[in-house]
Structure 1
């Protein structure tokens, strides 16, 4: 059973706006996935326009299904907004004690606190939109030091080391953020 939501608003924070992905994002999505660092930490390859279309179609289906909310992250720049990342709220169901937060940042936007701002905006949105959600999880592989820093900057507290499980070959960290 899905958790009922109470607010359809899109998340944002100063300098960063989150919105649903759309067909116009296809070229930027492929461009972002050319980065070997991003590909190392993601499960679904997006190297062609066809793969990007499938990825975008899946993100739209997930929204309709109501169990997964994937946002394009846009950063305010002098000449408008530019796509700089992705943030997702996964497994929004009554059966899961805490939905999971995931994200990636495009190579051209790293080092500008895009991920912490986007994850913080998504977390606030999740707690506001889904009143029954009282905790969020952020999981990452142990060797992903950057994700550990993002979790800490966003107020997620380290909870435990998890054993490796496919598709990830190494152990992982679980960080949690409680609703305030």
Structure 2
């Protein structure tokens, strides 16, 4: 059956270009595509108990971290995801990850995901990085951006609010964590 609507974002828009580096308005943070040399920072991030609690994945080796970084780059080429390493602009020190996951170019929608290294938490890094990715995503034509987090993750709720994502609702028993099923908040930012 023919589809009677056009893509919100034309296929090939991302795959035909290099993933852009993004800066926060204050210039203090630089978000860039992952590189294989980022494997030690990615591996270290997944050794953090707080990150592992909220993200059901583990990472046991640098080889796994390199494969993860390569998969992040492939997501851009497949136009299914865009992931950035959040760094301190002054010296390139890794601070975390910000991503558009599950990108749907037909609908112009994506789900945001992120994590921050322990030294970056509580310093406004995540909301500023979220704003940079959101601004870019809206300019390139995304219409609906969603941020999901466990209702028990109050820090992520604060990041969403500071980043301009009002709470849309709660999905009951929607995500399985190591300690069982969690209700999930859904925060949404809409483009014009």
Same fold (TM over 0.5): yes
Q: For 1:63-86, what per-residue CA distance to the aligned partner results, in whole angstroms no more than 9, with x for missing partners?
A: 110110011000134xx1200000
What is the CA–CA distance in structure 1 between the aligned matches of 2:65 and 2:104, rounded to whole Å? 27
- 1:162 equivalent to 2:171? Answer yes
What is the CA–CA distance in structure 1 between the aligned matches of 2:69 and 2:43, rounded to whole Å? 11
CA contact (8 A) 1:45 1:51 kept: no
Structure 1 residues 166 and 148: CA distance shift in structure 2, 3 A: closer
Instruction: Structure 2: give runs of 5+ residues left out of the alignment.
Output: 1-6
Instruction: Structure 1: give runs of 5+ residues left out of the alignment.
Output: none
Partner of 1:122: 133
CA contact (8 A) 1:70 1:87 kept: yes
CA contact (8 A) 1:10 1:125 kept: no
What is the CA–CA distance in structure 1 between the aligned matches of 2:20 and 2:63, rounded to whole Å? 30
Q: Counterparts of 1:1-180 in structure 2 under 5 Å?
A: 3-4=9-10, 5=13, 9-13=20-24, 14-77=27-90, 80-96=91-107, 98-129=109-140, 131=141, 133-168=142-177, 169-179=181-191
What is the CA–CA distance in structure 1 between the aligned matches of 2:45 and 2:176, rounded to whole Å? 21
Larger Rg: 2
What is the CA–CA distance in structure 2 between the aligned matches of 1:116 and 1:101, rounded to whole Å? 12
TM-score (ref. length: structure 1):
0.89
What is the CA–CA distance in structure 1 between the aligned matches of 2:109 and 2:92, rounded to whole Å? 32
Number of aligned residue pairs: 176
CA contact (8 A) 1:20 1:72 kept: yes
Q: For 1:25-49, what per-residue CA distance to the aligned partner results, in whole angstroms no more than 9, with x for missing partners?
A: 1111111211100111113322311
1:127 is displaced (CA, Å) by 0.9
What is the CA–CA distance in structure 2 between the aligned matches of 1:112 and 1:142, rounded to whole Å? 21
What is the CA–CA distance in structure 1 between the aligned matches of 2:120 and 2:165, rounded to whole Å? 22
1:2 is displaced (CA, Å) by 8.5
What is the CA–CA distance in structure 1 between the aligned matches of 2:99 and 2:77, rounded to whole Å? 14
